[in-house]
Structure 1
């Protein structure tokens, strides 16, 4: 894998292009989770349509200007987080102090990153702003953006943001706003909406009711021995052929109803569990993050442009022996049943629990596969006009939970087919077993469907 060191400029502070409201913004109960006090990064890679046009310095100026204009619409992002007395709740002081922009250069060509361009990205830390302690978020900039220019004329944009302000969908929405403005649009395609009060509990918390509704057992969230080993990351592509193979192995009823996410998640969970060689009588789980923007039928609904945290966690559990020894059908059904548990009642119960400052999901990380699907976030909308997007997604870098969370993204394989890319981080030996398991299961399902 190619190695390089980025030559970074001094960090610049970018403030909103025009005057913005000076006020205090309340966060939602979902935003205020202590586990979200960290910075997370998305990286997008671009190839210029005409080499050298615009010049690197001009391109940087365009992006900085677009960032400043975007902060007029997303002005809370230019503020700072402040703790309320007691330390459990945060608010945003909309001070217009600004965000951080760094320009960097790397002596490497975009094609050296591989095709398709998927995690793990070489020397990923060289592409990302240095933000210090990733879990210290109070009184710091809420957004860091590094543009890294490559010697071929391509470049990377790495957006690092405080998770208390945005989830993955909100971060993508803000990045699209910057891209819209850098492309020359007068206004962003989607106007932002704060409306965090819609995700604030209106009742006393009821942990017991939540646990009864969500059948997963809680256990302390500690760093297990496997996390102390050196982790490796690989990305696995699921294209039309792989999806069809998984689907055709299911009974007709389930084959018709199962989503692509359910198929992939069930297969990866099963193979990952086998690769980690847990004892047959141990319990493992898959934890996946469901976007309430489209699935929560509340009144009023979350408005278009909502960019706060609106992702809720649901869990499916299984005994290792039954999960790995049974058919794929069993795993798909468990994932499907967990997904449909995210009802209005479920969301209300979660908000009640969060309002008391409690965790609503505590799992042992070595026994949990964490997945989220952002594959339909609209990669084609990331086009700059003067530069085309050629890849990108989660960085799989930084905090251990970030590295263990598989964010499904879309990409094209060597044949030009649309695929779902699934990045996985595991200890090295477990990764070898996982890849073998996935290949073996796919071949076995293909044979059984003949």
Structure 2
């Protein structure tokens, strides 16, 4: 079994980076999609970069810090603070207080992380320090950035965003702009657009679609995932694993997308692992980016939240007893529910119902970030070796969410790595069930070592 990676990080005192030029002092309202309860948390992202001899003598901390000040001229709301008004309405006080920035050094090199450079990351709390008082939603920095130099000449860029300010597409748009300005551009190639009014409730608001994702479900048996004794692991799915899963589907379903196929499989395995009663309802929530589902599509440059939480609901008994194709049909239908009208209906529901949280009772939420472009962000040192979510299980209720992240394993196979967070005993059952699904492939038995060589690629 591989020894856990231990290292020391020395941090400088946190500082505030403000726009390099004066920016408007104003109040900007978030949209009625942005300010729903389920987005009122901080989401962490992490990027690893190799040493580049062409950048010898350049300090990544200095490069990013200076570029951040210039980028905030264009994205000045990120330098403000969130306030709450009547009816829980959120707004940004654009006051130039700045983004929290941390300079750090680690006594470790990129190669020490091994081939399995993926969540959960060792010492994440050191690579993205939670500055006391900074993690509240209101009246605190909307973004925290830490740049950590490695002793090999590479570095780690870590960022934490108040999720009400933007989704994965919006965040990568900002990070790409930061990269462009780090590389010498005077302004971002995609000008940022606020346009949050496009996702506001109508007047008068009228809920026109079914939104079971916001049902308020009682939990008398206490089946919301416990916050203690949680296990975090990542799973790699390459061509071999996906072929093994597809082999369990009827012929007419084998052409479905990787996302739909994997989601059906993981939902079923996870439900088996959590052992709910057969008559209890279980839910799969598929994050769907709605930008292209508007007519015309939302404008290029929009960096707010533009996704929905469509849900499929069935009983645990039906999900477990039926073949996997049953789950696949439910997943496909849920994804197809999202239209422009659906998004307007969600915004209307938020205003009418007090901006509720999506249902977390016996829910599993999956978000595909394979097209978000985190790995393409370039500060001058090339593309990231790993770029994307820093962990799974994020949100107000840890353990509910998993991300689908593009990844190349130790054998050079392209695929997805998916972090999963479950109670320890349920994780053991989950691993066993998932392994049984792919046991006709050449996947080795689960192990905590072998980066990229086994089914489970990382664990803590």
TM-score by length of 1: 0.90
Unmatched segments (≥5 aa) in structure 1: none
2-structure distance, mates of 1:331, 1:272? 12
TM-superposition CA deviations, 1:33-55 (whole Å, max 9, x none): 13322221111111112298235
Q: Match for residue 425 of structure 2?
A: 429
| Aligned residue pair count | 437
Q: Match for residue 75 of structure 1?
A: 76
Unmatched segments (≥5 aa) in structure 2: 443-460
Q: Match for residue 268 of structure 2?
A: 270
CA spacing shift, 1:133–1:232, aligned 2, 3 Å: farther
Q: Match for residue 141 of structure 1?
A: 141
Residue 112 of structure 1, CA deviation: 2.4
**Residue 350 of structure 1 contacts residue 360 of structure 1 at CA under 8 Å; is this kept in 2?**
no
Work out which of the residue numbers 339, 354, 358 in structure 1 matches 2:354: 358
Work out which of the residue numbers 34, 38, 47 in structure 1 matches 2:37: 34
2-structure distance, mates of 1:261, 1:276? 22
CA spacing shift, 1:145–1:371, aligned 2, 3 Å: same
Work out which of the residue numbers 358, 372, 377 in structure 2 matches 1:377: 372
Q: Match for residue 101 of structure 1?
A: 101
TM-superposition CA deviations, 1:77-133 (whole Å, max 9, x none): 11122222x361121122222111100112222222231311010011111132435
TM-superposition CA deviations, 1:363-398 (whole Å, max 9, x none): 244x11111111112245213333441113212276
Q: Match for residue 238 of structure 1?
A: 237
Work out which of the residue numbers 257, 267, 271 in structure 2 matches 1:259: 257
2-structure distance, mates of 1:110, 1:226? 34
Which deviates the most, 338-347 or 239-248?
Answer: 239-248
Superposed CA RMSD in Å reads 2.5
By percentage of residues, which structure has more helix? 1
**Residue 287 of structure 1 contacts residue 315 of structure 1 at CA under 8 Å; is this kept in 2?**
yes
2-structure distance, mates of 1:445, 1:83? 53
1-structure distance, mates of 2:321, 2:191? 49
Q: Match for residue 390 of structure 2?
A: 395
Q: Match for residue 150 of structure 1?
A: 150
Residue 236 of structure 1, CA deviation: 0.8
1-structure distance, mates of 2:64, 2:218? 43
What SS class does the counterpart of residue 323 from structure 1 fall into? helix
What SS class does the counterpart of residue 229 from structure 1 fall into? coil
What SS class does the counterpart of residue 96 from structure 1 fall into? coil
2-structure distance, mates of 1:425, 1:400? 14
Residue 190 of structure 1, CA deviation: 2.2
Q: Match for residue 187 of structure 2?
A: 187
**Residue 196 of structure 1 contacts residue 308 of structure 1 at CA under 8 Å; is this kept in 2?**
yes
What SS class does the counterpart of residue 227 from structure 1 fall into? coil
1-structure distance, mates of 2:237, 2:298? 31
**2:307 maps to 1:311:** yes
Which deviates the most, 119-128 or 378-387?
Answer: 378-387
CA spacing shift, 1:240–1:369, aligned 2, 3 Å: same
2-structure distance, mates of 1:203, 1:315? 26
Q: Match for residue 249 of structure 1?
A: 248
**Residue 142 of structure 2 contacts residue 161 of structure 2 at CA under 8 Å; is this kept in 1?**
yes
CA spacing shift, 1:198–1:155, aligned 2, 3 Å: same
